[in-house]
């Protein structure tokens, strides 16, 4: 074992906030015992400004949803993993889709070659979606469809499966990620240019708000922004900046803020700095309340209260000493719980190497269950509330994120910053600074730049995806096509093309009609490509 002696690290968070040696009323922290401060900044859980949580009793009333992200290979294989996770105590589903599904390609597309079923499950037809959720009661289980550019198509598949089972649409519960702006900003699985992409997302939100009362039709995602290298402050500011683009588009369509506001959900990452992450989640709730109340005049508590899912950050996982990742994940999960998340995914320790094995997925779920059942963390509402360091960091993060959000507005809004590449460049600069800190040893990563083990260690078993999956999926696709009415599909596709060419028509009902007629994800997206064109970046 070697232990390097490096220059002492700076005592700063990812956002460059100096962490003081000691906090208190006279030592850099707020006077949390002062009545005016407590009333203004803290309040009570379930009441504005929601610093302490959006529910009065928080986890005493109901634990966070344990929503492990899963998907690989075929729909049947992922269905087996879903059912196993539910049998092990998981309380919600989150679906990982492969790259062809994410960018609207059928399994037999030349562009899909080598990627079918690799980083998630392939769902290209209504038949695939039926197999994916076979024997899973859609009216009882909350499902996250973690998909963006093709979100309208996947929601249509899901709704069509429910209809075939005679489940009313208002009984469906779950979340559609559907945040295509962050694809341009941080992730890259877009299909169409920003304008048409935004239209599709907003069409879906508008339709779901009116028809799927129990479903959140968008999860506005800071997670991927953080994974791309953003700081905690940038994560909040850019996520809320994206949210404002969707909000204004919906308001322009005549919907009121309190009509669709309760259906907006968020998704944040949880990084390594324990205190900063707790403070970030608390600051996010307070900032969202401020934005909704002051900027948009919201009154409904369900609009004013920020609802969010948290995933422990994959970028913090290392392939060196991978078992260390289990420790990192447990600490990040603790921060999410102390920060008041409504839903949580804990990464598996082997995700820096491959998709999770059943063993590592079980340990990740057990991490949440130990946190919920054995630590006492859920017993008290906001148990770290009033701590000098946490309150000082909450105040600082809120102030900095609010300042950055105002600059976004002054520059013309998030869409303008994305189209000009300004926001992307800012994230890249933050990522570069963080990487340099690791390379110089100023930021310690155990097993990477300190406390390194000699030798490579024992190789760990990883999940293997069969190379036969792609061939099998192509056969299923061919059989699906043979069993449908080709004229009916052609009529549905023509109607979709016509609707896409009409800027004022909501496209989602036509996508749903196409799915019910038997159109594949590739046929639907190719039709939209003909009208919208395909975007290849700046």
| Average pLDDT score over residue span 60-77 | 95
Q: Strand runs (DSSP E) across 162-281, as ranges?
A: 174-176, 215-216, 218-221, 264-270
Contact 54, 285 (CB under 8 A): yes
Residue 32: pLDDT band by 50, 70, 90 thresholds?
A: low
Please give the sequence-ordered ranges of beta strands (E in DSSP) within 138-197, or none if there are none. 143-146, 174-176
> What tokens appear for 534 in the block?
């395909």
Contact 195, 246 (CB under 8 A): no
pLDDT score, position 28: 60
CATH numbers and ranges of domains, the chain:
65-375+395-440 (3.20.20.240), 469-532 (no CATH)
In this model, does residue 412 exceed pLDDT 70?
Answer: yes
Nearest CA to 277 out of 316, 242, 220, 232 is that of 232
pTM over 0.85? The answer is yes
User: Given a cut of 60, is residue 429 above it in pLDDT?
Assistant: yes
**Residue 216, SS3 per DSSP:** strand
CA distance to 322, 394, 447, per residue, from 456 (Å) = 11, 41, 11
Record the tokens describing residue 253, joined without a space. 């369509």
Mean pLDDT of the chain: 94
For residue 9, the model assigns a pLDDT of: 52
| CA–CA gap between residue 121 and residue 99 (Å, rounded) | 9
When pLDDT is cut at 50, 70 and 90, the band that residue 3 belongs to is: very low
The enclosing H or E element of 364 equals helix 358-374
Interaxial angle between packed helices 508-517 and 151-164, expressed in degrees from 0 to 180 and rounded to the nearest 10: 50
Name the pLDDT band for 6 (thresholds 50, 70, 90).
Answer: very low
Contacts of 502 (CB under 8 A, 6+ apart): none
Mind listing the pLDDT tens digit for each residue in 79-91? 999 999 999 999 9
Which positions ≥6 away from 188 have C-beta within 8 Å?
Answer: 537
Please give the average per-residue pLDDT across 196-217, as a whole number: 97
């Amino acid at each position: 074992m070697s232990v390097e002696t490096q220059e002492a690290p700076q005592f700063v968070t990812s956002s460059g906030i100096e962490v003081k040696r000691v906090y208190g009323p006279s030592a850099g922290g707020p006077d949390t015992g002062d009545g005016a401060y407590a009333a203004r900044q803290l309040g009570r859980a379930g009441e504005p400004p929601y610093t302490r949580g959006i529910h009065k009793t928080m986890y005493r009333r109901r634990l966070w949803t344990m929503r492990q992200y899963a998907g690989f290979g075929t729909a049947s294989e992922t269905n087996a993993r879903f059912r196993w996770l539910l049998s092990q105590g998981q309380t919600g589903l989150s679906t990982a889709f492969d790259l062809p599904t994410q960018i609207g390609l059928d399994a037999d597309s030349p562009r899909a070659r080598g990627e079918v079923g690799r980083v998630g499950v392939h769902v290209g037809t209504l038949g695939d979606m039926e197999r994916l959720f076979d024997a899973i009661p859609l009216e009882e289980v909350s499902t996250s469809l973690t998909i963006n550019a093709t979100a309208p198509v996947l929601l249509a598949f899901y709704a069509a499966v429910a209809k075939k089972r005679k489940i009313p649409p208002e009984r469906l519960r779950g979340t559609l990620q559907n945040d295509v702006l962050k694809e341009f900003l941080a992730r890259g699985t877009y299909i169409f240019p920003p304008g048409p992409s935004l239209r599709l997302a907003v069409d879906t939100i508008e339709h779901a708000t009116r028809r799927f009362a129990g479903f959140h039709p968008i999860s506005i995602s800071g997670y991927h922004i953080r994974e791309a290298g953003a700081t905690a402050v940038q994560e909040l500011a850019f996520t809320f900046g994206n949210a404002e683009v969707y909000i204004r588009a919906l308001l322009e369509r005549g919907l009121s803020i309190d009509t669709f506001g309760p259906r907006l959900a968020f998704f944040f990452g949880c990084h390594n700095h324990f205190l900063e992450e707790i403070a970030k989640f608390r600051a996010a709730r307070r900032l969202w309340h401020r934005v909704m109340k002051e900027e948009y005049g919201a009154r409904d508590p369900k609009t004013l209260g920020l609802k969010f899912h948290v995933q422990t950050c994959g970028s913090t996982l290392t392939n060196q000493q991978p078992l260390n990742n289990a420790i990192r994940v447990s600490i990040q999960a603790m921060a999410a719980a102390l920060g008041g998340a409504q839903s949580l995914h804990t990464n598996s320790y082997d995700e820096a190497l491959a998709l999770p094995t059943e063993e590592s997925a079980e340990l990740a779920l057990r991490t949440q269950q130990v946190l919920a059942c054995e630590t006492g963390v859920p017993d008290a509402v906001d148990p770290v509330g009033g701590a000098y360091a946490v309150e000082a960091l909450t105040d600082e993060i809120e102030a900095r994120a609010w300042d950055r959000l105002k600059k976004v507005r002054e520059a013309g809004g998030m869409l303008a910053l994305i189209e000009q590449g300004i926001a992307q460049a800012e994230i890249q600069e933050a990522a570069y600074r963080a990487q340099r800190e690791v390379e110089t040893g100023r930021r310690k990563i155990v097993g990477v730049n300190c406390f390194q083990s000699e030798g490579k260690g024992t190789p760990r078993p990883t999940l293997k995806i069969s190379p036969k999956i792609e061939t099998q999926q192509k056969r299923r696709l061919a059989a699906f096509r043979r069993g449908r009415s080709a004229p009916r599909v052609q009529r549905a596709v023509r109607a979709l093309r016509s609707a896409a060419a009409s800027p004022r028509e909501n496209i989602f009902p036509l996508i749903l009609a196409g799915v019910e007629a038997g159109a594949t994800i590739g046929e639907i997206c190719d039709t939209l490509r003909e009208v919208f064109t395909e975007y290849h970046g700046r």
